[in-house]
């Protein structure tokens, strides 16, 4: 049976190409719910106007679909609350600071 930890671990391989921090450590994944092989993810991006949003959401969908036990994937983009660097994990915040992003 697939778990939230399985999904989040898989998503650590998905990056916003403009920021070398994965979507989990950036704090873009707000919620993961699982019901009998159906995985639903609520997530955001660093910017509403992200020109490659579709590509990122497609990569998230494909990555989750590759997790054992996943039968269906639904990604629900949200802009509420808007992303900020404070949403990042400690590891993500360290990488952002190393890039010169202050918050």
pLDDT of residue 16: 85
pLDDT tens-digit map of 53-86? 999 999 999 999 999 999 999 999 999 999 999 9
CA dist 3 and 81 (Å) reads 25
pLDDT of residue 17: 85
Domain definitions of the chain by residue range: 4-81
Percent of the chain topping pLDDT 90? 91
**Residue 102 clears pLDDT 90, i.e. is over it:** no
Q: Strand 72-77 to strand 15-16: parallel, antiparallel, or no bridges (unpaired)?
A: unpaired
Fold assignment, 4-81:
GMP Synthetase; Chain A, domain 3 (3.30.300)
**Residue 98 clears pLDDT 90, i.e. is over it:** yes
Provide the edge-to-edge strand list for the sheet that holds 72-77. 29-35, 38-43, 72-77
pLDDT tens-digit map of 20-60? 999 999 999 999 999 999 999 999 999 999 999 999 999 99
Q: How far is CA 86 from CA 22, 39, 69, 76, 83, in A?
A: 15, 26, 32, 21, 8
Average pLDDT, the chain: 95
């Amino acid at each position: 049976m697939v778990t939230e930890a399985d999904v989040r671990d898989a998503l650590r391989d998905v990056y916003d190409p403009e920021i070398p921090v994965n979507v989990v450590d950036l704090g873009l994944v707000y919620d993961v719910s699982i019901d009998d092989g159906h995985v639903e993810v609520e997530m955001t991006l660093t910017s509403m106007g992200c020109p490659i949003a579709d590509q990122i959401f497609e990569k998230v969908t494909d990555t989750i679909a590759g997790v054992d036990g996943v039968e269906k994937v639904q990604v629900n983009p949200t802009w509420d609350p808007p992303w900020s660097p404070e949403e990042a994990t400690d590891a993500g915040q360290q990488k952002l600071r190393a890039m010169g992003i202050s918050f």
